[in-house]
Structure 1
Amino acid sequence: MMTMKAMMNVEKYTRYFLILFLTLGMVSCDDDDDVMDNDEDYTGSITAMDQTLSATENTFMVQSVTVGQDSWLVAVNSGDENTDNFITDPVMVENGGESEIMLTLNDDANLMEGENEIILKLYAENEDGTSGEWDMQDDPITDSDGMLVTTSITITVEGTTSGTFADYDTNGDGYLDADEIASTYQNDFTGWDSDADGSLSEEEFASTTFGNADANQDGSISEDEWNAGYTSMYGNYSEDGDFANFDTDADGSISSEEWTAGFADSEWYSTYDADANGSISEEEWNSGLYGDWDTNDDGMIDENEYNNYSGYTGNWNTGTTATI
C-alpha cells in the first residue's frame, strides 16, 4: 500500500502539473491573440477601363471597386507602384465597395499628350491612423500571394492645338488678332498665380516662364527645348541665344536657378509689367505674349508666327505637356 508520504508527493506533483498546464494554455491563448491582431485580412479588387481626356480635363472614372473594409483608392504613374507618389488625391471607398468613382489628377501628375499608363492601387483604412484621412498608417492591400492589388489603365490626353491656322483665322484676313489668338492655347494664369493675388510677381513670372519652356516637364530645360523656346517665347530677352551661357554648370540642361539667374538682368519682366507697378496682371500677361509672338512687330500674328508657338503652348494646361 502507498504510504502517506508517497500520497502527499503524488498530490504535490499533480498540483505542479496542473499549474504548468494552465500557464502554458494562457501563453498559447496570448500568442493566438497576437497573431489575430497582427494578421489583418485586407481584401480588394479594382475594375477600370482605358479613357481619353481632353487637354482641359483632369478627372477620370474608375468603374468599380470591391473591398472588405473601408479603403482608399489612389493612382500612381507606371513604375511607382511601390511608392506613395500619388498623382491623384486618395478617395475613400466604404466597406463593400462603390461604382463610378471619380479621381482627380493633381497638379504634378504631368500626363503627356498621347497615351499614359497609370496604376490604380488600394490602401486599407487602418485604425492606428487618423480616421477618415489617408496617412502612413494605412496599409497597401495585397493578395493571397503578397502581391499589391493594382490595375493598370491607359489615359490618352488629346492635343491642345488641334486646329489649323485657318481654323483660328475666323475673319479670313490671313492674320490672328488678339481675340483670335486667345483661342489657340489654354491660358492657365490662375495656376501660375501661386499666391492667388490676381497677378504674377517676379518670382512667379520666373517660375511660369521656366515651366512653359520645360516642355516635357522634367524639371530642366534641354538644348532642344531652349532652341524651340528661343524662337517662340523669350528670344527678345536673351542677348545671344547661346544655350551654354545659361547652362553655367555645363551639365547639358538649364535648371530653374540657372534660368532665373540668366534672365535676372533682362527686361522681360519689366516689358510685361506695362504699368510698372511691380506685378503683372492677366491682361498684361496676354499682351506681353502677343508682343513676343509678333516677331516682326507688325501688330499681327501671321501663319509663320503662329507655327512658332502653336506646338509650344501645349503644356499650358494642368496635367498636360506638349512635345516639341
Structure 2
Amino acid sequence: MKILNKPYYGIYFGKNYYKLLKNNFFNKNFFSKKIILLDINTKKYCLHYFLSKTNLFNKYYIINIFSGEEEKNIYTCKKIWKNLIKLNADRNSIVINLGGGVITDMGGFACSVFKRGLNFINIPTTLLSMIDASIGGKTAINFFSLKNEIGLFNYSKRILIDKNYLKTLSEDEIKSGLSEIIKYGLIYDINLWNLLKIRVFSKIKFLYDKLLYEIIYKSINIKNNIIEKDYKEKGLRKILNFGHTIGHAIESYFIYNLNKRLSHGHSIAIGMICESWISYKMKIIKKTEFEEIYNVLSILYKQIKIYNSDIYKILCFMKHDKKNKNKKIKFSLIKEIGYCLYNLEVDYELIKESIQNNLIYDRK
C-alpha cells in the first residue's frame, strides 16, 4: 500500500486501505449518517465489491442517480439535496462518492454547498476519476451547456485508489482515462511520455500492463506536485488544462448540439492534437514533436467528423473557458515534450485552422 499525504487530504493505494479507512477514519470520527452516492452503473458493478471490502457500516443510505456527463447539472444536484434533506443529513454526516468523474465532481459540489459544507470522501471507480477528477479539490457541475461552469474548490477528506474497479470498465473507458495520463507526460514528465509511447506502439493492453499501478501512482503524484504549488489555479496549475480549451468545447458540442456522447478522454485527446498543432504553427515546438504527439494519439483515438458550418459553435463554447481574460481565449501549450506554458493568447483564425486541419469534417 502506498500513501500520498497532502495538507488537506490523504490518497491511499491498495486494498489494505479499506481496513485503514475503518480503523483510522470511521472509528475515530463520529458520523451521524453514512450516505453512499452512486449512479446506476456503479450500483450495478461496484457497490457489492465496495461493501464486501469495507464492512464498515451497520447502517448506511444510498442516493442513486442516472449516469452520464449530461446528468452533471443543477437538476441532479437538486435531487441529491432533496434526498439529503429527507435523510435528515447534518454536518456530522458523511457522503461516500462511489463512481467516476461525474459522481466525484458533482458529489463534491453538492456536499460542499449543502448546509455550507458536508464531509465527503471519494472512491473513484474509473481510470479518469482515479488520476484526475477525484483529486485536486475541484468540484463542479455543468450549466447552460458549459463545462464545469458552477463550482468551487474543496478537498475530500480521503481518497482511495483501488485498481480492481478498473475490471468493470470497457476498453473505451480505459482509453478515456489514458488520455489524461498522456497529458501528464506531455506537460510535465518526458519519461512518462516515453513509457506510454512505447506501450502504445507495442499495443500493450493498459489494463493488463504490469506497470499499471506505478503509472497511476506517478500520474497522481504529478498532479499533486502541481496543485501543491498552485491550489486555486492562479498560475502553474493552468498547465493541467492543456488540451482542454478545445477539448472541452468539442465535448460540449457533441453533448448539446449533436445529442451524442464523446468521452471526456477522447475529447481531450483531440484537443491535445489541435493545441499541439497550434504550438507547432506558433513555432513553439518542432514539426517532429507535433508528428510524434499526433502519431501516438491517432493510434488510440479515432478522428471525429464535424460540419464545417459547426466550427463556429465549437469556438463559441471556447469563449466561455474559465482561463480567458479580457475576452481573449487563453491556452496552455507545450513548449517541448515534458514542459508546458500557460496564459498564451492565440489568434482566432489559428484556432479555427487547428480544428479544420486536424479533424475530419464535411465541407458544408
TM range (shorter): under 0.3
* TM-score of the superposed pair, with normalisation by structure 2: 0.25
Q: Who wins on radius of gyration, i.e. which is larger?
A: 1
* TM-score of the superposed pair, with normalisation by structure 1: 0.27
Q: Which has the higher contact order (CA 8 A, sep 6+)?
A: 1
